[in-house]
Amino acid sequence: MKWQRGYQSDDVEDDRGRSPGLGGSGLLGPALMIGSRFGLPGIVVALAVVFVLPRLLGGGAQTLGPGQVTTQSGPVSDERKQFVSFVFDDAQRSWSQAFAESGKPYRKAKLVLFTESTASGCGTSSSAVGPFYCPADERVYIDLSFYDELARRFGAPGDFAQAYVIAHEMGHHIQNLLGIERRMQNSGGPSEGANGNSVKLELQADCFAGIWAHSTARRDLLEQGDVEEGLQAASAVGDDRLQKQATGTVQPETWTHGSAAQRASWFKRGYASGSLKDCDTFATKP
């Protein structure tokens, strides 16, 4: 992906190396954060995250144990910060313009960088939860060492795979602004399972990430292989693939994010059309 080295963003808060203190609500914090999207019990939330990139959280999946996450520091970390800052701001500008064109107000999100644990408006969360979006404070949270796991453990290397993580979380911000999550919670439908609301919400965030990728293509920011990296990342964190890797079995009734094929398909759909109307996962069977 073509991006500006040395980029700095006013909307990125660097909390790396800082302790979150005793604020927040421990396991209940992530439960509230995810409960607003998944309705998962707190203990599952702690186990869930690797089912997806980021907040990409997953249900009934593996966890990143102590010592399995590598903390980046120095020039590599600085370049990663510059890269995610560029991607985050580019996504914000793209969505802000899209909202303006449709006559809708847009509120900026913030991106928070942290190491090991962080206190958000949704409670205290550890790096094991992976990147996530908190609707209570409209912030995306990420420990940049997650990208090491994305490449090494999930087999999804490349800068556009990393960009996909940010774009997916921004997709949740768009859902929040459009009231989609709130309507989902009020629907009373089942949360978990292959046809549950959680899967539909996550697949839509993948589709929204594809819309942003579509905009980067129109602006000549993509390089050869970028789209494939994004598709590989989306597929790598499918519930079926991660469950198979972790337990040797696949249990669709516990899915929260969708299969590898579904995630890649919805990202590709958003990329192909660049239109919100083609990302209605709630009207289409996942």
Residues 70-126 have pLDDT tens digits of: 333 444 569 999 999 999 999 999 999 999 999 999 999 999 999 999 999 999 999
Q: Does some domain include residue 163?
A: yes
**In terms of residues, how long is the chain?**
286
* φ and ψ of 111, to 5 deg: -115, 125
Q: Are 156 and 233 in contact (CB under 8 A)?
A: yes
Residue type, 222: L
- What mean pLDDT comes out for the span 34-46? 28
Residues spanned by the domain of 269 = 12-279
Please determine, for residue 210, whether its predicted confidence score (pLDDT) is greater than 90.
yes
Domain count, the chain: 1
pLDDT of 160-201, one tens digit each?
A: 999 999 999 999 999 999 999 888 877 766 577 888 899 999
Q: Does some domain include residue 5?
A: no
Q: Does some domain include residue 3?
A: no
- What mean pLDDT comes out for the span 54-77? 35
pLDDT band at 66 (very low <50, low <70, confident <90, very high): very low
Please determine, for residue 278, whether its predicted confidence score (pLDDT) is greater than 50.
yes
- What mean pLDDT comes out for the span 22-47? 29
pLDDT given for residue 29 in this prediction: 29
Q: Does some domain include residue 188?
A: yes
CA distances from 192 to 17, 37, 252 (A): 35, 10, 9
Number of H helices, E strands in the chain: 10, 6
Q: Does some domain include residue 30?
A: yes
Q: Does some domain include residue 238?
A: yes
Question: Which tokens is 85 given?
Answer: 């800052």
pLDDT given for residue 183 in this prediction: 85
The whole-chain average pLDDT of the chain stands at 81
pLDDT given for residue 190 in this prediction: 56
Q: Are strands 123-126 and 139-142 parallel, antiparallel or unpaired?
A: unpaired
pLDDT band at 17 (very low <50, low <70, confident <90, very high): confident
Query: Residues near 26 by Cβ (< 8 Å), separated by ≥ 6?
Result: 123, 124
Q: Are 33 and 123 in contact (CB under 8 A)?
A: yes
CA distances from 194 to 64, 244, 252, 262, 266 (A): 24, 15, 5, 10, 14
Residue type, 80: R
CA distances from 142 to 34, 234, 276 (A): 15, 17, 26
Please determine, for residue 4, whether its predicted confidence score (pLDDT) is greater than 60.
yes
Q: Which of 143, 131, 221 is nearest to 171 (CA)?
A: 131
Lowest-confidence region among 39-53, 80-94, 178-192, 264-278: 39-53
CA distances from 117 to 46, 127, 142, 144 (A): 12, 6, 10, 12
Q: Does some domain include residue 162?
A: yes
Strand partners, 120: 123
- What mean pLDDT comes out for the span 230-254? 94
Q: Does some domain include residue 202?
A: yes
Q: Which of 265, 267, 161 is nearest to 223 (CA)?
A: 161
User: Which residue did the predictor score with more confidence, 74 or 26?
Assistant: 74
Strand partners, 264: none
Query: Residues near 241 by Cβ (< 8 Å), separated by ≥ 6?
Result: 235, 259, 260
pLDDT given for residue 188 in this prediction: 67
pLDDT given for residue 81 in this prediction: 95
Distance of alpha carbon 65 from alpha carbon 271, whole angstroms = 34
Please determine, for residue 49, whether its predicted confidence score (pLDDT) is greater than 90.
no
